[in-house]
Amino acid sequence: MTKPPTIRDVARLSGVSTATVSRYFSGKADTIAPRTIESVRQAAKSLGYTPSEIGRSLRLAQSRVVVMLVPDATNHFTADIAVSVESALKGIGLSMVLANTGENAEQQDRLLADAQGLRARAIVLQGAIDTPRLRELVATQGNLIFANRRPAQGIVAPYVGIDNFQAGLAVGRYFIERGYENWVAIHGPRHYFGSTARLDGFVSGVGDASRVLQLESLYTMQAGYEHACRLLDLAPKKYSVFCANDMIAYGFYRAAMERNLRVPDDLVIFGFDDNRLNEWLAPWLTTVKVPALEFGPAIAKLIETPKPGFEDGRSIILPFELKVRQSA
Amino acid sequence: MTKPPTIRDVARLSGVSTATVSRYFSGKADTIAPRTIESVRQAAKSLGYTPSEIGRSLRLAQSRVVVMLVPDATNHFTADIAVSVESALKGIGLSMVLANTGENAEQQDRLLADAQGLRARAIVLQGAIDTPRLRELVATQGNLIFANRRPAQGIVAPYVGIDNFQAGLAVGRYFIERGYENWVAIHGPRHYFGSTARLDGFVSGVGDASRVLQLESLYTMQAGYEHACRLLDLAPKKYSVFCANDMIAYGFYRAAMERNLRVPDDLVIFGFDDNRLNEWLAPWLTTVKVPALEFGPAIAKLIETPKPGFEDGRSIILPFELKVRQSA
DNA sequence: CTGAAAGCGCTTACAG
DNA sequence: CTGAAAGCGCTTACAG
């Protein structure tokens, strides 16, 4: 409960100046006499001193905090990316602050303001919503990084993730190759710019937009389930469904099971993400694997790299892979 | 990329002192003349000024950051609690930093040091590991809060969560009431002090420790699956299994399915947590509901309440509930 | 209703 | 190898 000791307390106790103590704690110990080092170490230890990140940040005009904004932290794929990023950042001496936008534009803008207040080293957005505030920040700060979903048209900022258009295209072509019919694309909310890249790719892949039934959906099991119920009850057919993520696919599958339909005989289902739950919950699901664990290192690299390249929209494109299993 | 504007820039542009600008931004606008307010507002807006949390924190000797340490951020129940806490803290003007200990004592201690460096307002631990560093911090800082698992013997700090012993007891009694036999308790890792409270309660509930087969397990589906395979293959029986969490129960169930066993006829399974995935993935699972969404408000309240009560180990005990469904 | 000034905990260029 | 001193962006008691 007592006030934490400061650098001055350590300096006093070890009989040196605060400059020396500071050097010790900021990794410049090689210019200090061994005896001095020892006395500083002792003093710090006996006081239980930990340098204040706040003092440090103020002085250096830069914090060691990276803010990550996610639409839904309880989504498993999102959480995997967050964990990967957190761990990679830790490796380069940064901390990550996680915050939920709840898919809400105002909430996002409020969090962006907070991140600015914290003087975040970088702001990583998973599934950003296109708002004026966002555009303003990208333009004036240049420390925003888009993950998993490309920024909207006209926003120039680094992107880390797969090429969603190419992935959609590959799925579309696979549908053609297999001779699937009755195409359905359940795609993500339209306010996620970039979420449509998968859809556009898919449509290109099958080659005929007019024959694709497009349904807009939240990224949840619930939403997938409801779409499926409506579809399977109103116009039952052997559909070939491309889902915007695995959660939607789970929901769709459950509705199919309830109707005694089998994959792939009565229904074809293709997911997206290959989130780690699949192995346990949906080993039957054919899906596009997005390498969640590669996001951390890529983003860390982007943050570490000297500024000159930060504003130029350079991106790190990760590889995707079609995981063909039972459902398609 | 340019340096963000400071309070001085705003003061200069609006022709007032930094004191006045500061008052405006720290909610003391009622002592400022309306015309002055307006000019400050204009100036701040045109400069795109956001007050620096760093400067503010240094001056006030207190940050608005709360650090939450979790053993595994990809666990759904953990994530639900984290989201609940983040949202409640946001409501009282605080941000949450999330960090993973990965069930690793050294990692935890490193993160605790980081939290101290950030001068965190509070540190919330979900599933803390008992280390000397942890004990030292509890004693000297008094801003640690234990969530979901009680602190170990001799650590006096506030706790938020259910009464795990009582919950285990209720499950044990339920087993007796139903006449279940062949009791198995798959409990969490022993280094989670407090994780054994559920086990102890359960043992008390059934009333005969010698007849409970106790298996130590990680909190994962994988671990639950492996325990089940071993058990069901080596000594097949109609077991009645109390799992330390729902994940373990999922894994156990899968192994049972693979062997064509049915719940509750061939096997009784009882979970713990009632994580939100159950509704979709395991609607058959009988489990103990822990109210994940009530953690946020409770923890926020603890943090807001004036210090006097902080060190005295006062706790907020949340209600649990047996959710009886198909599997038991 | 407003301002001048001190000081929160650090780091670093400069001087020795 | 070491120290004195300035200054990072704020807030607030004090004075007017």
Instruction: Write the pLDDT tens digit of every residue in A95-123.
Output: 888 888 888 888 899 889 888 888 899 99
- Find the domain containing B303 and state its range: 60-162+293-319
Copy the structure tokens of residue A320. 């995707």
> Residue A40: which nucleotide is closest by CA–C1'?
D2
B190 and B270 both lie in a single domain = yes
**A220 CB neighbours strand D below 7 A:** no
pLDDT at A204: 96
pLDDT at B179: 93
B190 and B273 both lie in a single domain = yes
pLDDT at B212: 94
B3 with A61: Cβ contact below 8 A: yes
In a domain, B328, yes or no: no
B190 and B101 both lie in a single domain = no
Work out the minimum CA distance from B242 to partner chain A, whole angstroms.
20
B46 and B118 both lie in a single domain = no
pLDDT top residue among A3 and A258: A258
d(CA B185, CA A174) in angstroms, rounded, equals: 47
A95 with B114: Cβ contact below 8 A: yes
Mean pLDDT, rounded, of chain B: 90
Q: Which residues of B touch A113 (CB under 8 A)?
A: 50
Residue A47 CB contacts under 8 Å (≥ 6 apart), including other chains = A5, A9, A10, A13
**Which stretch of DSSP H or E encloses residue B71?**
none
**A113 CB neighbours strand D below 7 A:** no
B158 and B168 both lie in a single domain = no
* Best of A74, A218, A220 to mutate (most B CBs within 10 Å, chain B): A74
Which residue is the nearest neighbor of D13, CA to C1'?
A: B19
In a domain, A82, yes or no: yes
**A234 CB neighbours strand D below 7 A:** no
Phi, psi (rounded to 5 degrees) for B102 = 60, 30
Q: What is the mean pLDDT of residues B254-269?
A: 92
Q: Which residues of B touch A223 (CB under 8 A)?
A: none
Q: How far is CA B173 from CA B147, B265, B328, in A?
A: 26, 20, 13
Q: How confident is the model at residue A216 (pLDDT cuts 50, 70, 90)?
A: very high
Q: Which residues of B touch A55 (CB under 8 A)?
A: 58
Residue B309: pLDDT above 60?
no
Which residue is the nearest neighbor of D7, CA to C1'?
A: A59
Copy the structure tokens of residue A206. 């099958």
Residue B139: pLDDT above 90?
no
A2 with B140: Cβ contact below 8 A: yes
Tell whether A99 is within 8 A of chain B (Cβ): yes
B118 with A281: Cβ contact below 8 A: no
> Residue A58: which nucleotide is closest by CA–C1'?
D8
In a domain, A145, yes or no: yes
Residue A207: pLDDT above 60?
yes
Q: Which of A305-309, B49-53, B167-171 shows the highest mean pLDDT?
A: B167-171
CATH of the domain at B36: 1.10.260.40
Tell how many helices (H) and how many strands (E) occur in chain A.
13, 12
Identify the closest residue of chain A to B110 by CA–CA distance. A90
Q: What is the mean pLDDT of residues B151-161?
A: 89
pLDDT at B322: 96
In a domain, B324, yes or no: no
B111 and B194 both lie in a single domain = no
> Residue A37: which nucleotide is closest by CA–C1'?
D1
Q: How confident is the model at residue A306 (pLDDT cuts 50, 70, 90)?
A: low
Q: What is the mean pLDDT of residues B298-303?
A: 93
d(CA B157, CA A128) in angstroms, rounded, equals: 39
* Best of B118, B135, B250 to mutate (most A CBs within 10 Å, chain A): B118
d(CA B170, CA B175) in angstroms, rounded, equals: 9
Q: How confident is the model at residue A276 (pLDDT cuts 50, 70, 90)?
A: confident
d(CA B219, CA B189) in angstroms, rounded, equals: 8
pLDDT top residue among A21 and A1: A21
- Please, which residues 134-173 of chain A have a Cβ atom closer than 8 Å to chain B? 136, 140-142
In a domain, B143, yes or no: yes
pLDDT at B110: 86
Tokens 């000019």, located at residue? B39
Q: What is the mean pLDDT of residues B281-301?
A: 94
A29 and A133 both lie in a single domain = no
Displacement of CA A172 from its chain's centroid (Å): 25
B68 and B176 both lie in a single domain = no
By percentage, how much of chain A surpasses pLDDT 70?
Answer: 96
B177 and B281 both lie in a single domain = yes
B118 with A54: Cβ contact below 8 A: yes
Q: Which residues of A touch B100 (CB under 8 A)?
A: 83, 86-87
CATH of the domain at A260: 3.40.50.2300
Residue A279: pLDDT above 70?
yes
What 3-state DSSP class applies to B112?
helix
pTM of the complete model: 0.87
Residue A309: pLDDT above 70?
no
d(CA B213, CA B150) in angstroms, rounded, equals: 24
At what angle are helices A76-91 and A295-304 packed, to 10 degrees? 40
A183 and A272 both lie in a single domain = yes
B144 and B173 both lie in a single domain = no
Q: What is the number of domains present in chain B?
A: 3
In a domain, B186, yes or no: yes
In a domain, B195, yes or no: yes
- DSSP character for A4? P
A88 and A192 both lie in a single domain = no
pLDDT top residue among A208 and A191: A208
In a domain, A57, yes or no: no
pLDDT at A311: 52
- DSSP character for A29? G
- For residue B228, which amino acid is it? A
Q: Which of A145-159, A239-253, A294-308 shows the highest mean pLDDT?
A: A239-253
pLDDT at A271: 96
By percentage, how much of chain B surpasses pLDDT 70?
Answer: 96
> Residue A5: which nucleotide is closest by CA–C1'?
C9
B251 with A50: Cβ contact below 8 A: no
pLDDT at B194: 64
d(CA B46, CA B5) in angstroms, rounded, equals: 10
Q: Which of A135-144, A170-179, B113-122 shows the highest mean pLDDT?
A: A170-179
Q: What is the mean pLDDT of residues B8-20?
A: 92
